[in-house]
Amino acid sequence: MTIKNYIPFTNNPRKLLLIDAAGALLSSFLLAFVLVKFESFFGIPKNTLFILATIPIFFALFDISSFVTNILPIKTYLKSIALFNVGYCFLSLGFAIYHADVITLFGWVYIVSEVLIVLVLARLEFKLSQIQNS
């Protein structure tokens, strides 16, 4: 195996669910507490921040329950959370575009950074779901 073809978490894809859960909880915390406290600095309205902060909590619950259960094949969980993550990115960008007139440069940097990180994670989840046999 070359470095070019290396895909992290291939040997233990369930660990990726824990990474996703931790990221979701971090995102929720940042949105609900940090960005809300500095609303004027980021320019994202509080109600939007609370909506965007609530969704990752459900993702984290899904990730954790998927990690501890073996009801379905791991590829099903990975593909599901990847789709949820991509949907969340579209929702985040949609809210950002809707509030474009009030979001500051720092708000855009946060939103775009979060979306890029989540999309990289979703891509890895999709890749792993394709190579898992069970």
Which tokens in the block code for residue 125? Answer: 């989840």
pTM: 0.91
Domain encompassing residue 36:
13-131
Residue 8 located in a structural domain: no
Q: At what angle do helices 74-98 and 105-131 cross, to 10 degrees?
A: 160
* Domains identified in the chain, total number: 1
Residue 4 located in a structural domain: no
Residue 106 located in a structural domain: yes
What are 6-35's pLDDT values in tens digits? 778 888 899 999 999 999 999 999 999 999
The span from the CA of 48 to the CA of 128, in Å, is 32
Judge whether residue 134 has pLDDT over 70: no
